[in-house]
Amino acid sequence: MKNTHLVSLFFLTSINLLFSQQISDTKFGKGMINFVAKDSSFSVKFAPRFQTRYQSQWDHDDYEYAPAEYNFLVRRARLKFDGFAFSPKLVYKIELGLSNRDISGANMYNRNTPRYILDAVLKWKFHENFELWAGQTKLPGNIERVVSSANLQLIDRSLLNSKFNIDRDIGIQLRHKSRLGGRWISREKFSIAQGEGRNITEGNIGGLQYTSRIELLPFGEFSSKGDYSQADLVREKSVKAMFSFTYDYNQDAVKTRSNMGSYMTQSSGGLFETDIVTVFIDGVVKYKGFSLTGEYAKRTADAIEALEIDGKTKTGAVVGAGNAINFQGSYLFKNNFEMTIRYTNLDFKEVTGLSDLRQITYGLSRYIVGHKLKIQVDLSFSQSNGAKDYVLFRTGFDLHF
């Protein structure tokens, strides 16, 4: 209840700020509120957003497809605040989730409470091209995950992301940008995090999680941060590319997917611990409306099967070890319709007992005001262990102030 009151207070405060000024020089897509203190000691930008969708799924039962199961849902509903405090070199971001999918995941390690907080992070530009981040936010993982859900060119992210991504955690990050000569740019990112995901309140159980990522841009920076926004909405006039490598080491991890998945609980009430390594190799290329993204992910663990305290008996929990590839290509027509195709293939270690998955997705998007207001539809055909699994149809719209 206390958390609910906190969210309500944020919302009511934002509405009060909005209506205390009858004229604003902001516009749609740039935030509902843009406020800078008279003495320039702080700023606040408030931007709500939500995504709704309809989806139908036809499951295959070895002989034929069963009748469709369908539902409507609010996939995401969020309140975002950002700006600077004291100095433009000290910026912050707060993002709160309100939809059921945003706040689900209550357990004993977060006091069985909804997980409202997505991001709560300070970013300090302390020296030239160096930044120090502190708080809860996305780890520097695979490109598809780091791209905001507001800036996707299909209804949602791929199976590779859902099974292998390292998502959000709390800790510190050091980031740096280098110019290597010519148009070459290098971005280096290093993170030390708690290693159990977001909104953990009961202390660190296993070890820490260490993440390193390097990004190389051979043709200079993308326009409008296009490397972190899907679709070539700005129609790059020259070829732009980014190639990246991420290495993530979670020492004494207690969840089945590094800092994600379920806890590996033992019958004694303790948690099984094992070292988990996740590697990502990805790249993005854009040119004149064409966009291509490729990703490779690999996860290994010292012990794939979780054991009881005796070191012999299996608990039944398994680490999602294996590898995956994902390719996504698209073209944006001049009328702002975009056609996209995505292929994803997941191969898990045999000992996990997890099904290998394969999926191809065809999508169509109509960008009315870029990613801020868009309508999308996609159709996916999936296989499990080489056999037909299901067909999924989805459509929905995004509205982001």
User: Residue 268 burial by CB count (10 A; 0-12/13-18/19+): exposed, middle or buried?
Assistant: exposed
pLDDT tens per residue across span 110-157: 989 999 999 999 999 999 999 999 999 999 999 999 999 999 999 999
> What's the farthest any 2 CA atoms get from each other in the chain?
70
- Residue 400: is it exposed, middle or buried by C-beta count within 10 angstroms (0-12/13-18/19+)? buried
Render pLDDT for 286-334 as a digit per residue (tens, 0 to 9).
999 999 999 999 999 999 999 999 999 999 999 999 999 999 999 999 9
Domains of the chain with bracketed CATH: 2-400 (2.40.160.10)
CA 255 to chain centroid, in Å, comes to 18
22: DSSP letter:
S
- The SS3 of residue 11 is helix
Under 8 Å between Cβ of 365 and 395: no
Q: What gap in Å lies between CA 100 and CA 94, rounded to an integer?
A: 19
Q: What is the pLDDT of residues 80-119, one digit of tens each?
A: 999 999 999 999 999 999 999 999 988 889 989 999 999 9
pLDDT tens digits, residue range 323-350? 999 999 999 999 999 999 999 999 999 9
Token pair for 378: 């996609």
pLDDT mean across residues, the chain = 93
Q: What pLDDT is stored for residue 195 in this prediction? A: 95
Reported pTM: 0.92
The pLDDT of 158-172, averaged and rounded, is 97
Least confident of 20-34, 200-214, 323-337: 20-34
Q: How far apart, in whole angstroms, are the C-alpha atoms of residue 133 and residue 131? A: 6
Q: For 358-384, what is each residue's pLDDT tens digit?
A: 999 999 999 999 999 999 999 999 999
